[in-house]
Structure 1
Amino acid sequence: MKTGLIGCGNISGAYLSNGSRFKQMKIVACADMVPEVAKAKAEEFGLKAMSVDELLADPSIDTVLNLTTPASHSEINTRALEAGKNVHCEKPFGLDREEARKVIELAKAKNLRVGSAPDTFLGGGHQMCRKLIDEGYIGDVVNGTAFMLCHGHESWHPAPAFYYLKGGGPLFDMGPYYITALVNLLGPVEKATAMANRSTDLRIGIKSNVGQTFPVEIDTHISAVLKFKSGAVITLITSFDVWKHSDLRDIELHGTDGSMHVPDPNCFDGDIRVYKAGLTSNWAPVDNSFIYNDNMRGIG
């Protein structure tokens, strides 16, 4: 399956590096709103640099890998489907449910396929956790917590402004990793409630954009409670307003027979630890017997 990549930003390198590992697809071309960026990426990975219009019009390309910024996801997804191409999109799939629903309905009408990141839940770490939960190692999961806490991405990202515009923020940026991992482990969410705020209306660049200011249009701290159909209640906090925290695990689940530390859902591997009531006096490490433990973005 010949694939064209649109959006040659920070995450594109991981997908392009992995492209040769998957027999089912071959990335043959790339495009970006900045032609020079697409040209540089094409030269680095041996691809054909194209404009977005050229890529979408190319009949030899079967699938579009959409790595644009969140505000452009739905537009590019729609244009690709209308051009008769399957789509795999970076998260978030859309800025709201209605936007995402229209894309899915268009794909059905066109008899095409759409998919979305994250696929990190297919990694060995989370598959091992799923196996333990399915086997009842910690009993029925009753409750848990999930934390994604940092002070934003301007300390490392070369172009962080979009993280603070519509479609950005900690919930849309990192929340999909956590919610996808939790749904994989626990099943569908039945109810959700949340509250949010933001610390400032302006962010200041730290790394390559030192001193440059970015407007903050979205909430940067979201505290949510998810009630799963299974009965489990999970507290999820995502924040760009935390300078430092104590040892708050990415995901921790508590069941009727024990507890589990789940690895970082932004990664494919990670340490798994369990506490089994009556059998262990402290957290015990678990050996991971599954494959896909390095950065396999694109496997989904």
Structure 2
Amino acid sequence: MLMHPQFDPIAIRLGPLAVHWYGITYLVAFALFFFLATRRLRHEPYASITQPAPWTRRDIEDLLFWGVLGVIAGGRLGYCLFYKPGYYAAHPLEIFAIWQGGMSFHGGMLGVIVAMIAWAQSRGRPWLQVTDLIAPCVPLGLASGRVGNFINGELWGRVADPSLPWAMVFPGAALPDGTNPPRHPSQIYQFLLEGVLLFVLLWLYARHPRKTGQVSGAFLLGYGVFRFVAEYFRQPDAHLGLLALGMSMGQWLCVPMMVAGLALWAWASRAPEGR
């Protein structure tokens, strides 16, 4: 049985300015995306595209900017709508108080999709071509965010068997009776599954020419499956608990994601060559 190290959430103090580790993990995520996306331009079909214009490093810079906006706006709105709709309906101005915390991956993903559609239309590019480019570049950024969750000692897992070698006690996870049993370090599970493993699988899959939409479909399906599994080890949100069929909100949000991913991949696979 392990004890959570209780890291100081503040990485650097410069007078009144405090730089948090969680903020740094976001910067690392954006840097990883830029690094990987510029290398994706060497893969087909992006290396050969000339219409409406060749893909360039400047396109990646623009995609990153639009994606950041989509992550922040979508992540925050998704959290408010999916996890605490009643509270934010009664306190609408607090929707903008992002410094108080509260972001949803599924909302952030929807925000990025909207941002990519808008960017693609402004450049005259097929939007699935855009999402196919960025999909393999996302998982390592998600992994970076899970490192931030672990440093903060938040989003811990469900109670684990004390004999589990990596079961961990999180100081803030005490039960109502005052006991604090060891838990699954679900942040690490998510780091490994929906971060590292998903990246490896998608990157290898996307290195070879695929039909438009296949890589995007593979990302939706892969993330949905890995997140669905990880949710069995993650403590459900206290104010929601488990919902219908004993599933968490995260799992219910993964269901349409998996269905959409499988449908998109199947549709793309049946499309004629050169579409």
Structure 2 length-normalised TM = 0.25
Higher strand fraction (1 or 2): 1
Q: Which has the higher contact order (CA 8 A, sep 6+)?
A: 2
Higher helix fraction (1 or 2): 2
